[in-house]
């Protein structure tokens, strides 16, 4: 029986599943290819889950943003540190790293937000906040 549980890993940040690669086993630390979150693999009755490494810390959001930018080939600008501070502030107030430029505090607006994960940077040259930028060629 193949229901995909063995092959896919659930990411608690982007709430999606991504492909488990050959050789990844319980306890392995991997990067979610959709949002850049660093995850430790755990097997559960619902299938493979990723546990957030350094959950809730500035290190977590910084690494997530940097991995996401690297995966997509995006860059940051001089606003980077200010926006990281904004993200840390959102976590302090609302319990998650929600977009610092929006009023919505729902899972789809956890940074990188759903529109950004969906290709807003390719379409508009930058994300809503101006945190992630398309590289100039
Ligand atoms: Zn993810």
Average pLDDT by consecutive 10-residue portion of the chain (137 residues)?
A: 74 96 95 98 95 98 98 96 98 98 96 97 97 90
Q: For the chain, which residues make up each domain, given as ranges?
A: 8-52, 58-134
Cα–Cα distance measured from residue 112 to residue 44, given in angstroms and rounded to the nearest whole number: 26
User: What confidence score (pLDDT) does residue 6 get?
Assistant: 79
Q: Which CATH superfamily is domain 58-134 in?
A: Ferredoxin thioredoxin reductase catalytic beta subunit (3.90.460.10)
Residue 29 contacts residue 65 (beta carbons within 8 Å):
no
Cα 10 to ligand 1 centroid, rounded to whole Å: 8
Cα 81 to ligand 1 centroid, rounded to whole Å: 22
Cα–Cα distance measured from residue 124 to residue 115, given in angstroms and rounded to the nearest whole number: 11
How many CB atoms sit inside 10 A of residue 12's CB? 16
Cα 19 to ligand 1 centroid, rounded to whole Å: 11
User: What confidence score (pLDDT) does residue 42 get?
Assistant: 97
Kindly report the pTM of this predicted structure. 0.93
User: What confidence score (pLDDT) does residue 1 get?
Assistant: 44
User: What confidence score (pLDDT) does residue 136 get?
Assistant: 78
3-state secondary structure of 136: coil
């Amino acid at each position: 029986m193949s229901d995909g549980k063995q092959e896919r890993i659930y990411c608690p940040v982007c709430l999606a599943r991504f492909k488990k690669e050959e050789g990844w086993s319980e306890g392995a630390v991997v990067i979610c290819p959709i949002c850049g979150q660093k995850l430790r693999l755990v097997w559960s009755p619902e299938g493979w889950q990723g546990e957030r490494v350094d959950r809730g810390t500035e290190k977590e959001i910084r690494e997530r943003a940097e991995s996401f930018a690297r995966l997509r080939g995006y860059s940051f600008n001089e606003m980077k540190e200010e926006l990281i501070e904004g993200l840390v502030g959102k976590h302090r107030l609302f319990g998650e790293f929600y977009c610092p430029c929006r009023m919505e505090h729902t899972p789809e607006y956890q940074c990188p937000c759903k529109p950004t994960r969906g290709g807003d940077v390719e379409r508009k040259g930058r994300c809503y906040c101006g945190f992630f930028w398309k590289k100039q060629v």
